[in-house]
Structure 1
Amino acid sequence: MKNNSQIYTGIRWQVIFSFLFSWLCHSVSGQIHYSIVEEMRKDSVIANIADDLGLDIKQLSFRKLKIISYISEKYLYVNLDNGNLYVKDRIDRETLCGAEATCFLTFDAVVENPFNVFSVSVEIQDINDNSPVFFHEPFTINMLESTPSGTKFTLQGAEDPDMGVNSVQTYKLSNNQHFILIESMNPDGSKFPELVLEKPLDRETLNALEFILTALDGGSPIRSGTALVRIIVTDVNDNFPVFNEQLYKVSVNESIPTNTIVTAVSAMDKDEDVNGQITYSFSKTSGYHKGMFTINPLTGEIKTNSNLDYELTKNYELPVQAKDGGGLVSHCKVLIEVIDENDNAPEISITSLTSPIPEDTAPGTMIALIRVHDKDSGENGEVDCKLTGEMPFNLVLSSNSFYTIVTTSAMDREKVSNYNITIVATDRGSLPLSSQKTIKLEISDVNDNPPLFEKSIYVAYVQENNLPGFSVYSIHASDDDAGDNAKIIYSISNKNTEDPAMSSCFSLNIDTGVIYAQRSFDYEQHNEYVIEVTAKDSGHPSLSSNTTITIKVIDQNDNAPKLLYPSPESGASAWFEMVPFAAEPGSLLTKVVAVDADSGHNAWLSYHFIQVSEPSYFTIDEHTGEIRTQHVFQEKDILNHKVVVIVKDNGIPSFSATVTITLVVADNFQQVAPKFVNHFPDDETQSNLQLYLVIALAVISLLFIITVMLAVISKCRKSKPFPVYGPVSSNLYPQVDPRMLSHYASGTLTLPYSYNVCVALDSGESDFTYMKTNQNVPVDNLIDADDSGHGNESLKAALPTGNQIQVSY
């Protein structure tokens, strides 16, 4: 317990000394050096590496400070909360570095944001934690009783894995009367003990003796190891084997096959017979060569027993002994140096990777940190790296073994959404070896594409009288972005401020882009809507685009023809026409005028008789509605004809309107009067009948007076064999309001027209007399308003030269 207490006290003082000795050296290369002793307790603080690197402790987590090393990570770690570098596990210098004079743990301290690499080395100093050990114990020496005084006997030295003063420094021999101990030096600087015979032996007096050999190191406290030395006194074999060399050195390639002769040792013994027969063997040792080599006991040939690996062991020290038949032993050392060959391909490790990265990442941004390591040495361990393929990335050497992958140009996720970046590492050996590693880098989307419509203008059609909620059109926009950046919301706006409010006419599904009718449309009221649709994505900031949709209302046949002349509002009793007896076939009697509020085919009107006397005395033009005579009238013919005209449109289903016209064949008004009176329907009220009778009598009286006056004037002038009466203008048909007719400008006849029919009171006049008006309108325009050309010729032939029809606008 006392010795252990002294040992721990010594370790504690060395630890304290190491902390006082620990220092930071910022050299030109940016390296940091620390020095600690081995066997420090777990979680012991080495130094505050954050302060030494000039890093803000608050940003250590953000900058991702880390230790990168294949070995150091096992023994050291960094606390990101305080920036201290700690001991992670027991550090045994002898296990870590073996017999090397210096021992270092090296690692790279890596930080990001911005990226930087610092080289850090931690020197592991030796403490005296190992005692010297003798592996040949006991030592047995056969010695002749006749051996002269001063003869030396070489003993195998003790081994101490500690370094410097902590290794074996001296040997001591227990008290005896025959031998003293001297220390000799090996070629490598190590000491070995030799026994020197000081007083001759007498086998008859003493045939064997034993004493203790002690090896002491120079540590504090001092550690020691002991071995028993046994001397057997014989009376023969007075010569020791002698090696040709005390130290054999040989170099071999690590790739040599097993059972290959590495070297051969040789020793000579001057004795004869059995005493001169030498046997070779390896001395027992703590070296790392156990099982790696074999030695031929008769020839001294040393062969490989397994494959060598430079990366595991670079040097082997083989203690060899030669023992003759009499038991005398000599020792030598064989040093085998392993020569490195390029048998290890570079190793690629991804230390840091940022994925995904936005597509608008600026050029020069680091996306990955790559560490490349080759276990070989020299040129075999020097590595060159490159990226394969054409990509917007570059590989930049940052330190001895670190590379960064940085962006070199802008990226477009819509063209390439991910990259497979392949890194190829090749060493510089005579037969180069290479390896590769592939990184999959995802590109994240940014909102850099607005929604796009296929067209700038769309045209949609909807029939009038549609049901509310009817799907009018489905608009669609596409966005090359992804996620919310491609999620489109549609909205509708009124492009033409003169149109009705769009909210009352149309609605739009904001997700699907389907446009619905909010109400039923009427072509005759509004036949076209121009709306603007906006597609807006959900990115930040959002992008949008517009398109125009013209929605045209398709006409349906939902309006019946409307009669303008004869006007149904004036009553059926007023619609009669006088037909002169002398009217020639084809003479124009009157014209039915109608309009249809619909358009296109639905507004094409045709005129037909549906109720006419037999045989038929009249014809009606299907297209113009003109009623003409069919043949010359006779006295025996029926003089009162009632016809029903139907006006039909061209729609499906067809709509129609009817009007009844009474055609009276007479040459003067007196012949018309009784028929006119009887024309009133019997179901008229008595009051209305009396009113009509009074009006009729007044008109007849007035016409009689005018007739008498004209007869007198005609006889006085005697300019004609027959009396000619001046035309009496009788506007039997009321004027049509132009404001109403302008609404029906699409009708069959260009409107407005009013016909002033003048009835000749003289029976000798068999044709219509047309009044001259303030404005002359060609007969062609009146007769065939739709340019059909039917009936124009006969009408022109029937008209006297210079006679024109009165037209009011």
Structure 2
Amino acid sequence: MPGPFQSLDTEKTMAWQVIFFSIILMCEVSSGQIQYSILEEMKEGSIMGNVAKDLGLDIKELEIRKLKMASHTKKHYFNISLDNGNLYIIDRVDREAICEMENPCLLNLEILAENPVNVFHVKIEIQDINDNPPTFSKNVFDIAISESAIPGAHFALGKAHDPDLGTNSFLSYTLTPSNYFRLREKNGTEGINYAELVLEKALDREKRSFYELTLTASDGGKPMKTAKALVNIEVQDTNDNYPFFTHDTFRISLNENEPYGFHVVHLSATDMDESTNAQITYLFSHIPENAKATFRLDPLTGDITTIGPLDFEMKQYYEITVEAKDGGGLATHCTVLIQIVDLNDNAPEIFLASLTTPIPEDSLPGTLIALIHVSDLDSGKNGEVTCQLEDTPLFTLIPSSNDYYKLVTSRSIDRETTSVYNISLLAMDEGFPPISTQKTIQVTISDINDNLPVFDKLNYVAYVQENNLAGISIHSVHASDIDAGQNAQILYSILNTNIEGMPVSSYVTINSENGIFYAQRSFDYEQLREFNFQVTAKDRGSPPLSSNVSVRICIIDKNDNTPMILYPSPDTEKTALFEFIPHSSEKGYLITKVIAVDADSGHNAWLTYCLLQTPESSLFIIGEHTGEIRLAQNLQDVASLRQKVVVIVKDNGVPSLSATVTLNLVVAENFQQVLPEISRQPSNSDSSSNLTFYLVVSISMISILFIFTVIFTVISKCRTSSTPTMLGSLSRVWYPQFSLKPQSQFSEGSLPFPCSYDVCVTLDSRKNEIAFLKPTENVPTDNLIDTGDLVYCDDAGSDSIPAQVKLRLGEIYKI
């Protein structure tokens, strides 16, 4: 700090005189590097130069390229205008604070440009101005001079300190004119000027014991700056020897990691005097402010020790002046220069200059993800840093210039495999031992629509009971997409196809959001047993991707059809059809066979026959599954020639449906005995006449059929022994066709999966009741009449079918 007597003549013109200095601008454009030279203490906003022009950049592209100063330091002094490319000052530039005594004072800056990425290096040379006045280590110098001092004796006054450089720090001293004293400047071995007081005349303490002089220190700057200090001279008794150090300057090197209390140096000064005049005390004559908390001087021993941390990155050397004063007041000075030695005590730092995330999963290899800068506050090898990736095969690190690295992709990336990558960077210096720093960068991969929707199944099968309500849900499909966002949102639709000439949309519809099918109509198993269509699953990506799946809808049969009796006709009572039973028939004689069919399938079409009403319960029996009516006993004792039997046919459905038929049975030895019995009809003359006519016609037809049957039987016996012989009043074989299906959860005991078989049965169950069992497509077409669910088989051809049966078949199956 300046003393109280410092000159105040600098005023305002001295404060910003630097503005009137011309800015020395040097631009070197070599290897992408430019250099500017400025004076310190320039105003904020002062322009140093045009970076865009010096780097050959287009001013219009500065904002697009995002030109900016790279931030690697805690304090920033400069910035770039994106409007015109000017490099200007944004904070006070104090050369002494930045470089201290270092000359030249250079700042290395980096200018970062993106789009494309480039790094430009700029050197700023800060030139010194005379902005600091000299300062003395203290405002008052107290000097004790023995009255025995002879003229020519000199007394050290200490030195002033000026942090400027060159002529701005060159010091000259002046002293208040006196008849007894004059000033002498002494040059030390380091080129440092010291002021000494020289005695011109002998002193007489009794005449004057105290002198007060003013010591002025002036630097060589323009304008010149000065500092003043008082010199108080006390005349004492004789003490004619001064302390002296073995060296004027002590140079010490200290490692920056030395602990507190570390012994730096032992200063020893000697005095040829004796007693109190030889007792020496030590004190800091001049010490920097930042060194007061770091070093301590023992006033009795002269030992300097550390009391604070040493950090090469904060302070690299210290200059301390030590004064040794004897008991007589004589003093001498020495300079202690302490150099701090750098150690590898700073970990490298990793900075992200730019980062692009997320990146699309279809990014090409070599896509730039981040620009990385590494630095180390240490110097030499301790400050040289290398950076590398830790086991990340999808990415690679490419070295650039001046500790910059480019993080790029090394191969294609699949978001569905990994959507987020944590990339570990490892920076390590070359010190001993080396120190490393790890930093993790999280990179997110954005999705593109590169995956098709996938259905849960290869195809879908749904079972729906017939007679369903329109609008009910019958099944659903589900597809998934491993993409994300809209690329994974799926819409369902049915491909437009026709089913039996009708569009599929008239049968089923689908919810486009959840894939649920709804029936558009009530299904009839007897009309439509199954149908197929395709469903499309399409995502909402751009462009959308889709896939198809087949859907099969199977209709399950319900017991909604009553058994249909084919023979005898349910109208037998009206037509008065009779069955002839010879009186000599024995037990087990086959009288006739009730034939019925059911339009349903499976269990719903399995029929059961039983007698509902008989005149004598023990006279007739009926086959439960064949419908064959036989004698249960011999007829010798039967008195009545006419018997009436009611047969009920029930299916196996739940609930069971049934149909009944009434049979008129006539017992006689010949037809002549039958006629009187038949004529006994309780009706009027017209009905009796009609009944007689019908009976004659029936008997004639039965006779003709009987003759043909006998002829056919004889021929069949001659042709093959495997053909069954038919006995009875009629020779005919009916083949009900059954649909055999395995049971499912929807069938209620019925058999789904249609598989039609022809079952040929005879009238006489004792003679090969089941003639064959095989699929309908294998039945010879020359002796089969296809009636839907009933096939009539007769080796004699279709002409042998009774006309009444033919008529009944035609009514049911539209033959």
TM-score range, shorter chain: 0.7 to 0.9
Asked if the contact 1:132/1:168 (under 8 Å) is kept, the reply is no
Which stretch shifts more, 59-68 or 394-403?
59-68
Determine whether 1:757 maps to 2:757. no
Question: Is 2:11 the counterpart of 1:4?
Answer: yes
Specify which of 479, 482, 501 is matched with residue 481 of structure 2. 479
Is the 2:245–2:334 contact (alpha carbons within 8 Å) kept by the matching residues of 1? yes
- Could you tell me which of 465, 470, 473 is aligned with 2:472? 470
- Give SS of 1:95's match: helix
> How many angstroms does 1:550 deviate by?
1.4
Residue among 800, 804, 815 paired with 1:807: 800
| Superposed displacement of residue 273, structure 1 | 3.9
**Counterpart position of 2:607:** 605
| Partner Cα separation in structure 2 for residue 338 and residue 375 of structure 1 | 14
Distance 1:257 1:631, change over 3 A: closer
Change (3 A) 1:215 1:803: closer
1:746-789: per-residue Cα shift (whole Å, max 9, x none)?
xxxxxxxxxx52269xxxxxx76648689988656944643457
- Cα separation, 2, equivalents of 1:102 and 1:432: 31
Name the CA distance, whole Å, in 1 between partners of 2:601 and 2:58: 83
Aligned letter for 1:165?
A: T
Please state whether the residue corresponding to 1:288 is helix, strand or coil.
helix
Q: Is the 8 A contact 1:262 1:304 kept in 2?
A: yes
Map 1:296-695 → 2, pairs under 5 A: 296-493=298-495, 497-498=499-500, 500-568=502-570, 572-581=574-583, 589-614=591-616, 618-628=620-630, 637-665=639-667, 679=681, 690=686
Query: Could you tell me which amino acid in structure 2 is paired with residue 254 of structure 1?
Result: E
Indicate how the Cα distance of structure 1 residues 446 and 698 shifts in structure 2: closer, same or farther if over 3 A, else same. closer
Return the offset for 1:673. Answer: 5.7
Cα deviation 1:521-542 (Å, max 9, x = unaligned): 2111111121222222223333
What secondary structure is seen at the aligned counterpart in 1 of 2:76?
helix
Counterpart residue identity of residue 13, structure 2: Q
Partner-residue secondary structure (3-state), 1:412:
coil
Residues 10, 221 of structure 1: 8 Å contact kept: no
* Aligned partner (choices 35, 38, 44) of residue 37 of structure 2: 35
Q: Which amino acid aligns with 1:503?
A: S
Structure 2 match to 1:185: 187
- What are structure 2's unaligned runs of at least 5 residues? 1-7, 717-722, 727-731, 736-758, 770-794, 807-815
Match of 2:172 in 1: 170
Three-state SS of the structure 1 residue aligned to 2:505 is: helix
SS in 1 for 2:414: coil
Which has the larger displacement, 610-619 or 52-61? 52-61
Give per-residue Cα distances to partners, 1:688-723, cap 9 Å, x unaligned: x74x677678889xx8xxxxxxxxxxxxxxxxxxxx
**Residue 22 of structure 1: which of 15, 20, 25 is its match?**
25
Shift of the 491–56 alpha-carbon distance from structure 1 to 2, 3 Å rule, reads farther
Any idea what the Cα deviations from partners look like across 1:33-81, whole Å, max 9, x if unmatched? 3333332333444444455555566665665544333436533344556
* AA aligned opposite 1:791: D
Larger relative strand fraction: 2
Query: Does the 8 Å CA contact 1:159/1:286 hold for their aligned counterparts?
Result: no
Relative distance call for 1:636 and 1:281 in structure 2 (3 A) is closer
Deviation at 1:603, TM superposition (A): 1.1
Cα gap change, 1:34 to 1:731, in 2 (>3 Å): farther
Is the partner of 1:638 in helix, strand or coil? Answer: coil
Aligned partners of 2:419 and 2:446 also within 8 Å:
yes
Letter of the 2:533 partner, please give it.
I
- Tell me how far apart the structure 2 counterparts of residues 209 and 367 of structure 1 sit (CA, whole Å): 77
Q: Distance in 1 between matches of 2:714 and 2:346?
A: 115
Q: Which amino acid aligns with 2:703?
A: C
1:285–1:629: structure 2 CA closer, same or farther, 3 Å change rule? Answer: closer
Displacement of 1:315 = 0.4
Give the direction of change, closer, same or farther, for the CA distance of 1:656–1:249 in structure 2 (3 Å limit): same
Alignment partners' CA distance in 1, 2:266 and 2:617: 151
Which residue identity lines up with residue 174 of structure 2 in the other structure? Answer: K
Q: Partner of 2:752 in structure 1? A: none
Q: CA separation in 2, counterparts of 1:696 and 1:610?
A: 25
Deviation at 1:260, TM superposition (A): 2.6
Cα 1:37–1:499 shift into 2, 3 Å:
farther
Q: Distance in 2 between matches of 1:789 and 1:563?
A: 17
Residues 790/82 of structure 1: CA separation in 2 closer, same or farther (3 Å cut): farther
User: Which residue number corresponds to residue 715 of structure 1?
Assistant: none
Could you tell me how far 1:145 is from its partner in structure 2?
5.3
Provide structure 1 residue ranges, at least 5 long, that are not aligned to the other structure: 683-688, 704-729, 734-755, 761-766, 797-801
Identity of aligned residues (%): 48
- Residue 76 (structure 2) aligned to one of 74, 77, 81: 74
Whole-Å separation in 2 of the counterparts to 1:776 and 1:804:
13
Tell me, what secondary structure is at the counterpart of 2:134?
coil
Change (3 A) 1:273 1:618: closer
CA distance in 2 between counterparts of 1:803 and 1:152 reads: 163
Deviates most, 76-85 or 217-226: 76-85
Residues 422 and 769 (structure 1 numbering): CA distance in 2 closer, same or farther, change over 3 Å?
Answer: closer
| d(CA) in 1 for partners of 2:28, 2:683 | 131
Per-residue CA deviations over 1:381-420 (Å, capped at 9, x if unaligned) read: 2233333345523333334443343332333333333333
- Distance in 2 between residues matched to 1:793 and 1:274, nearest whole Å: 157
Q: Size of the alignment, in residue pairs?
A: 736
Distance 1:803 1:132 in 2: 145
* Aligned-partner SS, 1:375: coil
Q: Distance in 1 between matches of 2:433 and 2:335?
A: 35
Q: Tell me if structure 2 keeps the 8 A contact 1:418–1:442.
A: yes
1:266-303: CA deviations, max 9, x gaps?
A: 33444444444433221134453223222233433222
Q: Give the Å deviation of 1:318.
A: 0.8
d(CA) in 1 for partners of 2:602, 2:299: 123
- 2:568 & 2:304 partners in 1: Cα distance? 139
Q: In the aligned structure 1, how far is the partner of 2:586 from the partner of 2:145?
A: 177
- Matched to 2:563, the amino acid is P
Query: Aligned partners of 1:518, 1:458: CA distance in 2, in Å?
Result: 19
Cα distance between partner residues in 1 of 2:313 and 2:699: 129
Give, in angstroms, the shift of residue 599 of structure 1.
0.8
8 Å contact 2:641–2:677 — kept in the other structure? no
Shift of 1:655: 1.1
Question: 231, 247, 250: which one pairs with 1:248?
Answer: 250
SS at match of 1:155: strand
Larger CA deviation: 253-262 vs 84-93: 84-93
Q: Is the 8 A contact 2:713 2:725 kept in 1?
A: no
Change (3 A) 1:699 1:535: closer
- Map of 1:709 onto structure 2: none
Cross-structure match for 1:791: 764
Structure 2 counterpart of 1:11, one-letter code: V
Kindly indicate whether the alpha-carbon contact (under 8 Å) linking 1:770 and 1:804 is maintained by their aligned counterparts in 2.
Answer: no
Residue 250 of structure 1 deviates from its aligned partner by 1.3
Distance (Å, rounded) in 1 between the aligned partners of 2:65 and 2:382: 34
Which segment drifts farther, 386-395 or 597-606?
A: 386-395
Q: Partner letter of residue 388 of structure 1?
A: E
Which string of whole-angstrom CA distances, capped at 9 and with x for unpartnered residues, describes residues 183-205 of structure 1? 44333334333444456556566
Which sits farther off after the overlay, 39-48 or 522-531?
39-48
Residues 22 and 251 (structure 1 numbering): CA distance in 2 closer, same or farther, change over 3 Å? same
1:91-240 correspondence to structure 2 within 5 Å: 91-144=93-146, 147-197=149-199, 207-234=209-236, 236-240=238-242
